Amino acid sequence: MDSMTLKCPVAIKAKVTERLKKQLAAEIQEAIKNADMELTQIEFHAKRAMTEQAKLDAQGLTALRQQIDTEKQKRIDFKNHATEKLKETAELEIGAEITQGTIDRMVTINIGDDLHKVLAAEILLEDGKVIAFRS
């Protein structure tokens, strides 16, 4: 066998622009807004569930309250994390590069190829457009 085909990850990086900063901030703000809506829904449903539970079995109230508090805390933690990400996004320097994820590609390697070079592949984007391939 003289060659082999592999599935390798390719890093997707984006050059920070004002447009990208605004897009990232809008996505984060939307996620925070959704978390707020979920918190409101949890509170609404919690009141009804607590009233129903009290009628059925008062001992189950503690477990139900813990479950509700856990769900609320998840949303609050998410909001706090998202708020930090929003601050970090505002501080990004124009021209800097940030990682946006990875995709897979199929690559055929041959005897003597530099595997590290193949595995170090990156795609650089600027406002959603490919501006460079790196390896």
- Chain segment 43-66, per-residue pLDDT in tens: 988 888 888 877 777 777 788 889
What is the structure's pLDDT at 98?
A: 95
CA neighbor of 16 nearest in space, from 127, 87, 95: 95
For 28-40, how does the pLDDT look when each residue is reduced to its tens digit (9 = 90+)? Answer: 999 999 999 999 9
C-alpha 36/C-alpha 1 separation (Å) is: 58
Mean pLDDT score of the chain, rounded to an integer? 92
Q: Give the start-end residues of each E strand in 41-121.
A: 97-110
Q: What pLDDT sits at residue 17?
A: 96
How far is it, in rounded angstroms, from Cα 45 to Cα 12? 41
Angle at 75 between CA 31 and CA 50, to 5 degrees: 130
Helix (H) / strand (E) element for 118: namely: helix 115-119
pLDDT digits (tens, 9 = 90+) for 1-22: 889 999 999 999 999 999 999 9
Instruction: State the sign of the Cα–Cα–Cα–Cα dihedral 125, 126, 128, 129.
Output: negative
What is the rounded average pLDDT of the residues 107-127? 91
